[in-house]
Amino acid sequence: MPRDTSSSSATSEPTGDSVTPTSESRLALVRRARRMNRELIRLYPDAHCELDFTGPLELLVATILSAQCTDKRVNAVTPKLFQRYQSAADYAAADREELEGLIRSTGFFRSKANSIIGLGQALCEHHGGEVPANLDDLVRLPGVGRKTANVVLGNAFAVPGITVDTHFGRLARRFGWTASSDAVKVENDVGSLFPAKDWTMLSHRMIWHGRRICHARRPACGACALARWCPAFGAGPTDEEEARALVRNGPFS
């Protein structure tokens, strides 16, 4: 696949996750990043949060459960969980053994149960049982960090936020949008390249691309539609046939 190098006169060799162009102006970086986002929009027109939920509390609990666990597994667990616990007060008063039994298959179930019970108690004590719609209050809740808070803000309250999970951080470094491995710095670096209104959907598309194409160990570079703008092209197989064998969950061109 031909690659467009017009936005950068020189790039570093692809080594690991962090590949930042060495001679790229700020304007060129913004233009390249936004061009890549337009391609992500074309690739993933249906991108969305892959956790099942019907309201902020359900999404908050599901996101806590998703730590070190697949969304598919969380979605298999939450129907019974959400039927049993329908309010913050229900979680606050939950029988620990029963709750742990319902979430056991998501892993780290004891610490997750602690967070969820503490979450219910904190919501009842400080927020009238409702999930707050601002970052500062969310990150003070048990088990809630910036990543979880931004998932909830963007998908339950339509408040723009960037979700820096492992996929997002890996791709942002490979794309040369940041050189940092610190999640807050990544959030700020990438956020500065795009209008705030784009942040939530950009997060979904980056995560989808990371799960499907730009894998941690062997990215499918030869089958990636972003290759022409990506400084990390060559981190994985560049032969199209070999690369397509690595693609998960759908064709991409």
Supply 165's token pair.
Answer: 């999970």
- Whole-angstrom distance, CA of residue 207 vs CA of residue 154: 14
Closest CA to 16 of 218, 183, 186, 168: 218
- Whole-angstrom distance, CA of residue 138 vs CA of residue 7: 39
- Whole-angstrom distance, CA of residue 12 vs CA of residue 44: 28
- Catalytic member of 165, 182, 189, 197: 165
Count of alpha carbons within 13 Å of 196, Cβ hemisphere only? 7
Active site residue 90: no
- Whole-angstrom distance, CA of residue 161 vs CA of residue 137: 15
Residue 105 and residue 77 in contact, taking contact as beta carbons nearer than 8 Å: yes
C-alpha distances out from residue 47 to 51, 180, 224, Å: 12, 26, 17
Closest CA to 34 of 199, 242, 241: 199
Active site residue 136: no
- Catalytic member of 17, 72, 136, 147: 147
Beta strand extents in the chain (DSSP E only): none
Just list the catalytic residues: 147, 165
